[in-house]
Amino acid sequence: MKRFLAAVLAAMVLAGCGNVPLTGRKQVLLVSDQEVYQAGLVQYDEYIKGATLSTDSGKTKMVRSVGQKLAAATEKYLKANGFASELDNLAWEFNLVRDTQVNAFCMPGGKIVVYEGLLTVAQTEDELAVVLGHEIAHAVAKHSNERMSQQILAQYGAAILSNVLSEKSAAVQTVATTVFGLGAQYGLMLPYSRKHEYEADYMGLVFMEIAGYDTDSAVEFWTKMSSSGSSVPEFLSTHPSDSKRIAQIRQRIPEAQSVAASLK
Ligand SMILES: [Zn+2]
C-alpha cells in the first residue's frame, strides 16, 4: 500500500491531475483523453458488433431522445463553467440492446448502452433519465481514465510514465481490456468504486435537473432497484444500491436543484 501511494504521488508529479466538473474533486489522470477514447472505442465497437440491437423502435426512440436531452443539458453546464474544451472528447451515442439484464453502461466519450431489461424497472422517461444521467456523469467525470490510471500504477508503478512511449501505450491497451471488459459486463452494477458511484449519482441529478426531469424519481428508481435485488449476483451485493445510497441521493437533490437554477 505504501508503495502504491508513493507511486501515486510520483505520478501526480510526472503526469496530470484533473478536476472533476461539478464536484471539483482532484483526480490523477495518467492517460490522455484521446488514448482513453480510442481504447474505449475498440471495446465498444466489439461489443456492439456482437450485440443484438432492440427491435422495439418506440423504446429505442425513447432511450435516444432522453439521452440527447441530457447530453444537451450536460454540454450547457460544461460550456457555462469553463469546461467547453471537454466537448471535444464527447461523441454521444445511445443504444438499446436486446438483453434481459437490468443494466446499462457507458464507455468513454459518451457511448451509452441500455439493456432492454432495465426498462422493466425504469418505466418512465424520468426514471430512464436517472440512469442515463448517471452514465453520462461517469463519462464527464472521466472515471474510466481514473480507473485506468490507478490500474497502470498498481500494475506497472510510476516508472512506466517515464518509459518510452511504446511501452506506455502497450500498458494502456492491457489495462483498457481489464477496465472496459469489466465495465461492459457489469455496467450499472459495478465495478466503479463507491466514490465514483456517489459522484455519478450527484452529477446525474444536476444534469437531470437542467434537462427538466424530475429528480425525485431518482429516489423511486433506486428504491425499486434495491427491492428487485434478486437479479444482482451475490458477489455484487456490496454495490451501493442500498439505503445509504438512496439517503445520499435524497439529501443532495436540493443542491442539484440550486446548481441547475443558477444556470437559468
Ligand atoms: Zn455507475
Q: Give the Å distance between the CA of 197 and the centre of ligand 1.
A: 5
In the residue annotation, 116 being an active-site residue is answered as no
Compute the distance between CA of residue 213 and CA of residue 11 in angstroms, rounded to an integer: 40
Burial class (CB in 10 A: 0-12, 13-18, 19+), 131: buried
Q: Is the CB of residue 144 less than 8 Å from the CB of residue 78?
A: no
Residue 186 has pLDDT above 50, yes or no: no
Compute the distance between CA of residue 215 and CA of residue 120 in angstroms, rounded to an integer: 19
Domain ranges of the chain: 2-261
Compute the distance between CA of residue 200 and CA of residue 44 in angstroms, rounded to an integer: 20
Residues 203-225 as b or e (16 or more Cβ within 10 Å = b)? bbbbbbbbbebebebbebbbebb
pLDDT given at position 195: 86
User: What would the pLDDT profile of 195-210 be if each residue is shown by its tens digit?
Assistant: 888 999 999 999 999 9
Compute the distance between CA of residue 249 and CA of residue 82 in angstroms, rounded to an integer: 26
Name residue 97's beta-bridge partners.
53, 115
User: What would the pLDDT profile of 14-47 be if each residue is shown by its tens digit?
Assistant: 567 788 999 999 998 888 888 888 888 888 898 8
| HEC readout, the chain | CHHHHHHHHHHHHHCEEEECCCCCCEEEECCCHHHHHHHHHHHHHHHHHHCCECCCHHHHHHHHHHHHHHHHHHHHHHHHCCCHHHHHHCCCEEEEECCCCCCEEEECCCEEEEEHHHHHCCCCHHHHHHHHHHHHHHHHCCHHHHHHHHHHHHHHCCHHHHCCHHHHHHHHHHHHHHHHHHHHHHHHHCCCCHHHHHHHHHHHHHHHHHHCCCCHHHHHHHHHHHHCHHHCCHHHCCCCCCHHHHHHHHHHHHHHHHHHHCCC
User: What would the pLDDT profile of 164-181 be if each residue is shown by its tens digit?
Assistant: 667 777 888 787 777 776
Q: Give the Å distance between the CA of 162 and the centre of ligand 1.
A: 32
The pLDDT confidence band at residue 154, using thresholds 50, 70 and 90, is confident
- Catalytic residue, candidates 35, 116, 127, 135: 135
Lookup: cell for 113: 448502452
Ion ligand 1: residues, CB within 5 A, are 192, 197, 200
Q: Give the Å distance between the CA of 219 and the centre of ligand 1.
A: 15
User: What would the pLDDT profile of 82-133 be if each residue is shown by its tens digit?
Assistant: 999 999 989 999 999 999 988 898 888 899 999 999 999 999 999 999 999 9
Compute the average pLDDT of residues 45-64: 95
